[in-house]
Amino acid sequence: MGVIGVSFLIYAPKGEGASVESAGGQVSYPVKTFQDGKARFYQYKASDGTPIKYFIIKSSDGVIRAAFDACDVCWPEGKGYEQRGDYMVCRNCGKRFASVKVNEIKGGCNPAPLNRQVIGDLTVIKVKDILEGKQYFNLSRRG
């Protein structure tokens, strides 16, 4: 059995503290990065070059949540979400989603959930979970 090569790139805004542990197959971010309640947007580049976009936010109830920057309905437009106060707002249809619902409700125009864990002082996302969102960012699937 051979070893499968994986190449990827994590884009994090300057100072956001992303780290990649390729051997562990996960991406981690310091929990303190999200203390201000502002959504942070990231991009993971799959081995075929597809950029998979997601965001992490500490919701108003104190939970760190993660979702793909896309939904089941509006993903073909490729516009994603923006934060307005305690809401994530779809840049395509304008629907608003309370921060406490991110990563809780899936389907429709809700931000597609992304599994994450808080382990000690790190927010950890498995690479395999990020790759599950590739369908939302595959340009060949867009109309």
CATH number of domain containing 124? 2.102.10
Binned at pLDDT 50, 70 and 90, residue 107 comes out as confident
Quick one: pLDDT at residue 138?
83
Question: Residue 92's closest CA among 74, 76, 110, 107?
Answer: 74
Q: What six digits make up the tokens of 22?
A: 């390729």
* Structural domain harbouring 105: 9-141
Average the pLDDT over 4-33 and give the result.
Answer: 60
Residue 4 lies in a domain: no
Residue 98 lies in a domain: yes
Residues 74-104 have pLDDT tens digits of: 898 889 999 999 999 999 999 999 999 998 8
Question: Residue 112's closest CA among 94, 132, 142, 86?
Answer: 132
Q: Which amino acid belongs to residue 58?
A: K
Average the pLDDT over 34-57 and give the result.
Answer: 95
Residue 136 lies in a domain: yes
Domain count, the chain: 1
At residue 102, φ and ψ (nearest 5 deg) are -65, 135
**pLDDT-above-90 percentage for the chain:** 68
Q: Chain-wide mean pLDDT for the chain?
A: 84
Residue 2 lies in a domain: no
Question: Is the pLDDT reported for residue 42 higher than 60?
Answer: yes
Residue bearing the bigger pLDDT, 31 or 140: 31
